[in-house]
Structure 1
Amino acid sequence: MRDLVIDVNYPEGAQWPPAGELIRLDDLPRSGGFGLFQAVRAAAKFPHYRRVYLACKDQRHVKNWLLLAALYLGEAVWFVPLVTPVQRITKGGLLWTLPFFRKIPSRVAAREFTRKLRATVPHGAPPIVGGVLLLAHSYPPSAGGIQTSMVHAAEGFAKRGLPVRVLDGYRAGWRNYDADSPVPVRRVYTGRRFRLGEYRRLALRAAESASLLPGRPPSEEIIGTVGKYLAACTAGKTAEFLANFEAACRLIAEGTPDTVHAGYCHPDSMVAMLLAAIGGWPFLIYAHGTETLRFTKDKRLAPFFDKSYRAAAAVLANAHYCAEIVEKGHGVPPERIHIIHPGVDFAHFAAPPVEGLLDALRRRHRIPPGARVLFIVGRVIPLKGFDTVLKALPRVLKEFPETVLLLGGDGFYLPRIRQMVVELGLTDAVRLLGKIPDEELAACYHLADLYVMPSRDDPPGSFEGFGIVFMEAGAAGTPQIGGRSGGIPDAVRDGETGLLCDPWDPDDLAEKILRLWRDPDLLKSLGEGARQWATEQDWELVIGRKMALDERMRESAGAGEWTPPG
């Protein structure tokens, strides 16, 4: 009986493990659902295999139809992902992914965890290390706004002498990144499991790890809250909580911190709350953006996050909009909510581009002399308002035909944006840059006369938490137009660093662009204001504010102003 490798989405899959046969999904007809199931079956030369290996970047890329086809072909299926441990799944394991049964693993894990936690007595006596334990949730080498905030906080604290230890999941490229990281990063596998026994063992192991902590047993109220939370979670989030809690306990057993920072509410704030209930460490929760609103409206989970937010010593909000949601939606006292905007590497983005780079970019992107350059960059998704910019452009071109739009980024909405460029007759005015290399991004800001990103609430409940790109543009002296949505009014000071527009109205955006094109003095004034605002948000200053907040947390706990939950 032979083995089969199904190469899901990267060519190295053929190299590990070696197998007699190989199927590349890219070579099969483009299809999904039952069509993919049939295509995989037809591509296999034999109807049955000893093992089927799914070689993939991440097991989340393997959809249920592909998994079903693989299970049909072999006795056992093995995931061979780049960023997580090798996992085995059997036909019986597929049962727990079906709608009727998918809640059972969470409920079993919740029951086992709470039962064992009640019987576990914390009796650890680890050395005192001090500093911060950062439950990052999202950390490099993956990219994004949360990751940027987390890594600058961790490295900024460490640079100033505050010990930091980071806990995060596996990411593509983590091994090389962690080897060069100036702060220690502990990686833990946080993905879903495929066998009920794995959930049970994970729950028991996580509860037993509480014995490594110093402190007291958590109250029955806290145990009950955590148990109900785990039962209400998806199986994947239940596994993530348990894995993170166990790893956090083992990190604390190596040395106790002064404070715990939860980089996200789900599930990190619940992990931090349970740690605080046992060991008494004051904890902080980061409120980035969309998640603050989403979890106020989630009837299943909102009651649990209300408790974790209220139990925190502090909540760090990106912008006033997030702070208002946390206060009104979760009932957090306003004195515990602190607004600290994300920062910018001012020196990097303010520095003039290397000699010849701007000319090279103009030639590459066919920007004629005297052109007025608009720039937008980010994930190409509906929320960012790329389509609004395109709809506004024809009106701008009627009065200023020399206008050129540089559109950078990648994402699932890019094919629609390409189509709109053709439909609106903008092929001569729009340059699709794709993903911009880091070494060229700052130069693109300097090349632009105006940065535009009319982000909006799309889909409803999603919004821009702040918009670090506005700070990057400002550091380069480039004024901005942003959508009047979410936290953007904090990033773009209307009339001082740029202008705000209705993100759903292309005519309003066009009018704002035309206003600045017609008034060069206003454009210049806004650029100067944007640069000054960006200097106040340099990461060095932002880290200082975060360290001051961490110190106030410790002082409030020492003075009895904050008490551990339960």
Structure 2
Amino acid sequence: MKGPLSSHKKVLIISSEFPPNTGGIGNHAFHIAQWLSKQQYQVTVLADIAGYSDSPINNFSSTLPFTLIPVLRKEFVVFTYASRMVKALQQAAKSDVIICSGKFSLWLMMAIGICFAGKKRIAVVHGSELDLKQPWAKKLTTKALGYANAIISVSHYTKQFIPATLTQKIPVYIIPNGISIKDFDGFADKEKSTDATLQLITIGSVSERKGQLNVIQALPELLLHYPNLQYHIVGKPVMQPMLEKTINALHLKPYVVFHGIMEQQQMLQLLAQCHIKLMLSNHTSSGDFEGFGIAILEANALGLPAIGSSNSGIADAIKNGETGILVMPADIAAITAATQQIINNYTAFSTAALEWAKQHDWQLIIQQYIAIIEGN
């Protein structure tokens, strides 16, 4: 594997979240840190971590191939902000390249750009941080992004929310999210249901953005074609009570299973036994939207085709008509037709989905980051 052009270059990654917390931005930052470390970069991660004390964080940090500096949440939020700023400037002073990912981290780009104008600064934008509804927050984000030397967008959909005043003067690169194919070894060959039951699944916090309600509202029509289907909902049950009211009103209780938050291995076992991954995400009125849809690729890695929203970053995660089908999230007729098309051509869709996932292995994706890090 081709290594970095500048051996032992020091890279600082500032992320608004990070494991052991869950979240797409944190997972993304973790893999960038991990794979840059494998390429001989000296990586330090500065990240907000909530709900953990020093001891478990230290135990977690000791297993990592890079340095993790946590910003633990304090009782008064202003102290958290101050701690984040001080640590960011201290670490930026020691680094050659600074990568900022997530809203609060992007805001630090301005201070880092002012204090360390000669250092390479890369902003990673995922989605919702670009469509903030508070005017002051939107202006601050735009101002901070102006201090980046390069902007990486995780999808074409996300890129369109970058202000034109920035894209005219700062290079913007589209690099999709990645997965580690090895994480799915041993699961892809699990037997799927051989009875007449169609197994559908959505993974992610039960929320307006993730669109579980869109699937539930499509179930009565789907049941006309697949009377024994089951819909599995995995994730933090934020809006579960509201969804349960709709389920009861539509008499769907026998067909929907809420699993809550699942341990990773159990979740992969369940995912491998399902047939189609549904991600009918919404672009909410608050500006929250799906920047890419990494959960699509995770399902693809187990041979599951996907049905996803065409009006989101998911459009980059699905090769329409091959690895899955894009639909408008509330279009019940389109959702039903997509399901039928996939089931009627399941082997072709499943094979293409697996190959598509392999093309997004972090081992390949990280090379695009390295090209930007090493570029002029």
**Does TM-score exceed 0.5, indicating one fold?**
yes
Aligned to 1:260: 98
Contact 2:188 2:301 in 1 (8 A): no
Change (3 A) 1:311 1:429: same
Aligned: 1:373 with 2:199: yes
Letter in 1 for 2:36: F
Output the CA distance in 2 between the equivalents of 1:456 and 1:467: 12
Aligned: 1:338 with 2:173: yes
Among candidates 65, 80, 89, match of residue 249 of structure 1: 89
Please identify which structure carries the higher helix content.
Answer: 1
Alpha-carbon distance, 1:239 to partner: 4.6
Contact 2:305 2:342 in 1 (8 A): no
Output the CA distance in 1 between the equivalents of 2:197 and 2:285: 34
Contact 2:142 2:163 in 1 (8 A): no
Aligned to 1:301: 137
Aligned: 1:462 with 2:298: no
For residues 475-486 of structure 1, what are the structure 2 equivalents within 5 Å?
Answer: 475-486=301-312
Output the CA distance in 1 between the equivalents of 2:342 and 2:69: 49
Output the CA distance in 2 between the equivalents of 1:524 and 1:368: 14
Change (3 A) 1:315 1:240: farther
Alpha-carbon distance, 1:262 to partner: 0.9
Aligned: 1:429 with 2:255: yes
SS in 2 for 1:300: helix
Change (3 A) 1:494 1:460: farther
Output the CA distance in 2 between the equivalents of 1:129 and 1:271: 25
CA distances 1:321-364 after superposition (whole Å, capped 9, x unpaired): 11121143x5333761111111112222253368xx75xxx8xx
Aligned to 2:357: 534
For residues 214-229 of structure 1, what are the structure 2 equivalents within 5 Å?
Answer: none
Segments of structure 2 that go 5 or more residues without pairing to the other structure are 1-6
Change (3 A) 1:269 1:509: same
Output the CA distance in 1 between the equivalents of 2:239 and 2:121: 38
Output the CA distance in 1 between the equivalents of 2:284 and 2:113: 36
Among candidates 110, 116, 119, match of residue 273 of structure 1: 110
Contact 2:130 2:162 in 1 (8 A): yes
Aligned to 2:25: 146
Question: Rg larger in 1 or in 2?
Answer: 1
Aligned to 2:4: none
Output the CA distance in 1 between the equivalents of 2:319 and 2:194: 31
Output the CA distance in 1 between the equivalents of 2:175 and 2:92: 27
Output the CA distance in 1 between the equivalents of 2:248 and 2:295: 27
CA distances 1:494-547 after superposition (whole Å, capped 9, x unpaired): 112111111123333223223333x2xx23222222111111101111122112
Change (3 A) 1:283 1:525: same
Among candidates 434, 437, 443, match of residue 269 of structure 2: 443
Contact 1:353 1:442 in 2 (8 A): no
Contact 1:353 1:443 in 2 (8 A): no
Aligned to 1:317: 153
Output the CA distance in 2 between the equivalents of 1:188 and 1:469: 27
Contact 1:309 1:332 in 2 (8 A): no
Alpha-carbon distance, 1:147 to partner: 0.7
Aligned: 1:398 with 2:221: no
CA distances 1:126-172 after superposition (whole Å, capped 9, x unpaired): xx974111112211110110010010011111111000111123432
Aligned to 2:59: 176
Aligned: 1:161 with 2:40: yes
Alpha-carbon distance, 1:432 to partner: 2.2
Aligned to 1:137: 16
For residues 192-231 of structure 1, what are the structure 2 equivalents within 5 Å?
Answer: 193=76
Letter in 2 for 1:331: L
Output the CA distance in 2 between the equivalents of 1:162 and 1:187: 20
Report the TM-score when normalising by structure 1.
0.60
SS in 1 for 2:257: strand
Letter in 2 for 1:465: G
Contact 1:245 1:271 in 2 (8 A): yes
SS in 2 for 1:134: strand
RMSD: 2.4
SS in 2 for 1:326: coil
Change (3 A) 1:442 1:190: closer
Among candidates 538, 541, 547, match of residue 370 of structure 2: 547
Output the CA distance in 1 between the equivalents of 2:353 and 2:8: 41
Output the CA distance in 2 between the equivalents of 1:291 and 1:321: 13
Aligned to 1:186: 69
Output the CA distance in 2 between the equivalents of 1:188 and 1:501: 40
Letter in 1 for 2:340: L
SS in 2 for 1:286: strand
Report the TM-score when normalising by structure 2.
0.89
Aligned to 1:22: none
Output the CA distance in 2 between the equivalents of 1:299 and 1:353: 46
